[in-house]
Amino acid sequence: MQHDKEVDTRGLNCPLPILRAKKALTDVKSGQVLKIVATDPGSVKDFEAFAKQTGHALLEHALANGEFTFYLKKR
């Protein structure tokens, strides 16, 4: 998927992936897509909740080779 910025949170546990994503979202414009790569299994539920609470769209998330990839579209 096409993205405008990427954040690598591999090796970080909750709540750091969310905090890094939140900070990165301040650097992108409305409608742009942020890609987040994480290894924390809890990040799936965290990013789903984060998207609901903030109004950003969680476009896609996938697991490959022990890494979770999330695509958030800024509201």
Catalytic residues: 14
Q: Provide the β-strand partners of residue 1.
A: none
String of DSSP letters for 41-67: TTHHHHHHHHHHHH--EEEEEEEETTE
Mapping DSSP to helix (H, G, I), strand (E, B) and coil, where does residue 16 land? helix
What is the C-alpha to C-alpha distance for residues 74 and 47, in angstroms, rounded to an integer? 13
